[in-house]
Amino acid sequence: MVPLTLFLKVQLRPTGIIALRALPQSKMRTALRYVPPTTLIGAIAYPLLHISGDRGETIYEKKIFKSKAESVIGLFKWVTIKTEGRPKLYGSLLKINTIYRGKVQSAVTSFPFAVFYGESTNSLTAAYFVDEDALSESTYSSKDLERAAWGITRLGSRESIVSVEDVKMGKAVFREANKVRTAYAFPFKGVNVHGKGTLQAVVDWRLGIGDYSNAKRMVMFYPEETVEVQGRLSIAELDGEVVILAP
C-alpha cells in the first residue's frame, strides 16, 4: 500500500515586507531572508488556537516565555515553503531617543527586514503535512486546519502581513527517490544540488519552539525557482509537485 498523509497547500501573497528576526535577537542582528519552518508553524497556530478559544500567544514555563505554537507542533510531520521572487535584505539606521531617570539618552540601531521589490508575481506557498494519528487524538479536525490556513494573516512580526489567496487540502504520496526537481525548501544534508539557491540555518522546530538560545538548528536550502536534487531522498508528492522531507 502506498503511504498517504493529509496535506495543506496555502498560497500566500506578501504585502512587500517579511520582517523575520534571527533569534536570539540583539541590536542590529540581521533578518532572515526566507521564511523558516518555525514561522510557518506559528502562522497557522495562531488562528488554530483561536478556534479552540485560546487567544494567547505565549506561555510562561520554568521561567521561560515560550510560543503557544509549541502545543500544536505535534500535528505536523513536516512543513516547508516555496518562494517565488528573491527577497532583498534591507536595514535602515534609526535614531532612538529615551528618557531614563530624568536624563535623555539616544542610540543608533537598525531594524533589518526582507523586502520583495516591485513585481506583482511574488508569492509564497506553504506546505503542511499533517500527522493524522495526532490529529485524531487532538481536539481539532481536518476542517479546523483548513479554516486555520485561511485565517493566516502574518508571518512572524506584525509587519509581515500576508493575504491567503488559496488553500488546497488533499492526500500526499510518500515515497523514496534518488533524483527529483523541487522548488520547495529542503534540509541540506546528504544531497547534491544543481541550481541556484540560498542556505539558511533555521531552528529545528520538531524539537520544540521556545528557548531559541540553546535550540538545535538545521541548514535548509531555499531554491531560486526549481532545482535538481540527488541523493537518498524521502519525498512527498502533492498537487503535482515534489517536496523533500527531513532525513
pLDDT for position 120: 62
All residues at 6 or more sequence positions from 80 whose CB lies less than 8 Å from its CB, including other chains = 37, 40, 126, 127, 184, 185, 186, 243
Q: Looking at this protein, which amino acid is placed at residue 49?
A: L
210-218 contact pairs (CB < 8 A, 24+): 210/61, 210/64, 210/65, 210/66, 210/67, 210/70, 211/64, 211/66, 212/23, 212/24, 213/23, 213/24, 218/187, 218/189, 218/246
Alpha carbon distance 245, 93 (integer Å):
39
Cβ proximity of 227 and 193 under 8 Å: yes
Residue pLDDT, tens place only, 83-115: 998 888 777 666 667 776 777 777 666 667 777
Residue pLDDT, tens place only, 143-193: 999 999 999 998 877 778 899 999 999 999 999 999 999 999 999 999 999
Q: 209: pLDDT confidence band, cut at 50, 70 and 90? A: confident
pLDDT for position 97: 74
Prediction pTM value: 0.86
Alpha carbon distance 223, 221 (integer Å):
6
Residue 212 has pLDDT above 90, yes or no: no
